[in-house]
């Protein structure tokens, strides 16, 4: 684009994208199963504005980092911890102004300085990618965003987190395709932070190493039960029955593959859930970050959450968010 009139038409962009939680289908989605994914009401906010001088500056909140680079430097190897490294996968040197300032606020994705595990890197990718595109009056499609995010994660992952951040609401995700879905409103849910952040790429690498080029029996069962959850999601009792089967299959897969999906915090929460007649599972890669509890009885869920906090775990107040990526220009 160079520095012609089109480039100068927009000087400031504010964009935001929601986090996500996998309600069902983690790991199974990598083998072609249906996953149920919800966008949640914690948003990354990206501010991008053109300047008349100085280099590109970056300030990150939540994950704290500051850096400054020329446009050419943005397309060289940058440290993994520098959020400026996103730029090279989301734009090209000729498409960028020479001087700009970027602020990325992901602080709602942290609890006591620990990352919750609700898809912050995907939300950053979606928000920043659309902010960059908006400078020229365009939008950035989900396929481009997924490709960029997969690069950040060294080629692993299904792309469901980017799809959820882009679209919002509850989605059915399968084989790189997303469509709007739903859950029976008689299913109540609550979210728990199990105490420590998880490195998702490492967990998926363990899964891939175990799986190889085969479909072990426990993976085939996980795929079958994951599909059952999605197909039953609009009928509360059927959903709960299928979810119970799915959780059992996820436990078996973790025992076979030794991934570590059910870390100590999740095991403690599962024990409390059984006491109250509630279903509980980790969300996504598992290990130690977010989990979700389901019940058709709100009172049982309330008692479960009380006991969770008494156990020293954290109930995180989240709601499913209908809005995906949002962009405002000026």
User: 174 and 295 in one domain?
Assistant: no
User: 144 and 201 in one domain?
Assistant: no
User: 136 and 77 in one domain?
Assistant: yes
Is 65 domain-assigned? Answer: yes
Q: What is the DSSP track for 250-269? A: HHHHHHHHT---B-HHHHHH
User: 106 and 27 in one domain?
Assistant: yes
The residue out of 180, 200, 225 marking a domain boundary is 180
Closest CA to 132 of 47, 204, 237: 47
User: 19 and 155 in one domain?
Assistant: yes
The residue out of 158, 180, 202 marking a domain boundary is 180
User: 236 and 155 in one domain?
Assistant: no
Residue 101 bridge partners (DSSP): 49, 57
Residue range of the domain that includes 35: 5-180
Is 68 domain-assigned? Answer: yes
Q: Are 166 and 324 in contact (CB under 8 A)?
A: yes
The CATH number of the domain where 112 resides is what? 3.30.230.10
Q: Which pLDDT tens digits describe the chain residue by residue (330 residues)?
A: 333 444 446 899 999 999 999 999 999 999 999 999 999 999 999 999 999 999 999 999 988 899 999 999 999 989 988 989 999 999 999 999 999 999 999 999 999 888 999 999 999 999 999 999 998 889 999 999 999 998 877 777 789 999 999 999 999 999 999 999 999 999 999 999 998 777 788 889 999 999 999 999 999 999 999 999 999 999 999 999 999 999 999 999 999 999 999 999 999 999 999 999 999 999 988 887 899 999 999 999 999 999 999 999 999 999 999 999 999 998
CB neighbour list of residue 78: distance below 8 Å, 6 or more residues apart: 67, 69, 84, 85, 88
User: 225 and 142 in one domain?
Assistant: no
The residue out of 180, 213, 234 marking a domain boundary is 180
Give the sign of the dihedral formed by CA 82, CA 87, CA 88, CA 89: positive
CB neighbour list of residue 218: distance below 8 Å, 6 or more residues apart: 249, 252, 253, 255, 256, 257
């Amino acid at each position: 684009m160079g520095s012609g009139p089109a480039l100068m038409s927009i000087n400031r962009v504010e964009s935001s994208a929601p986090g996500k939680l996998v309600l069902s289908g983690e790991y199974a989605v990598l083998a072609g199963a249906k996953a149920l994914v919800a966008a949640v009401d914690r948003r990354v906010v990206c501010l991008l504005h053109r300047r008349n001088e100085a280099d590109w500056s970056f300030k990150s909140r939540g994950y704290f980092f500051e850096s400054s680079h020329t446009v050419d430097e943005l397309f060289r190897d940058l440290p993994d911890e520098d959020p400026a490294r996103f730029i090279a996968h989301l734009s090209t040197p000729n498409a960028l102004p020479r001087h700009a300032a970027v602020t990325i606020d992901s602080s709602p994705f942290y609890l006591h300085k620990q990352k919750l595990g609700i898809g912050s890197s995907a939300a950053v990718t979606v928000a920043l990618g659309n902010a960059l595109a908006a400078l020229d009056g365009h939008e950035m499609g989900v396929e481009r965003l997924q490709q960029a995010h997969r690069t950040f994660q060294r080629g692993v992952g299904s792309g469901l987190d980017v799809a959820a951040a882009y679209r919002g609401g509850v989605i059915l995700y399968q084989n790189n395709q997303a469509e709007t879905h739903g859950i029976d409103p008689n299913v109540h849910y609550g979210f728990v932070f199990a105490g420590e952040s998880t490195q998702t790429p490492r967990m998926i690498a363990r899964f891939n190493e175990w799986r190889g080029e085969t479909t072990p029996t426990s993976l085939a069962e996980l795929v079958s039960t994951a599909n059952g959850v999605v197909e039953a999601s609009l009928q509360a009792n059927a959903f709960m029955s299928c979810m119970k089967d799915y959780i059992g299959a996820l436990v078996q897969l973790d025992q076979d593959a030794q991934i570590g999906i059910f870390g100590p915090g999740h095991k403690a929460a599962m024990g409390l859930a059984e006491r109250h007649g509630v279903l509980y599972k980790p969300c996504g890669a598992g290990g130690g970050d977010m989990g979700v509890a389901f019940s058709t009885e709100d009172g049982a869920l309330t008692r479960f959450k009380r006991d969770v906090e008494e156990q020293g775990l954290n109930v995180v107040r989240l709601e499913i968010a209908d809005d995906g990526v949002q962009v405002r220009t000026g």
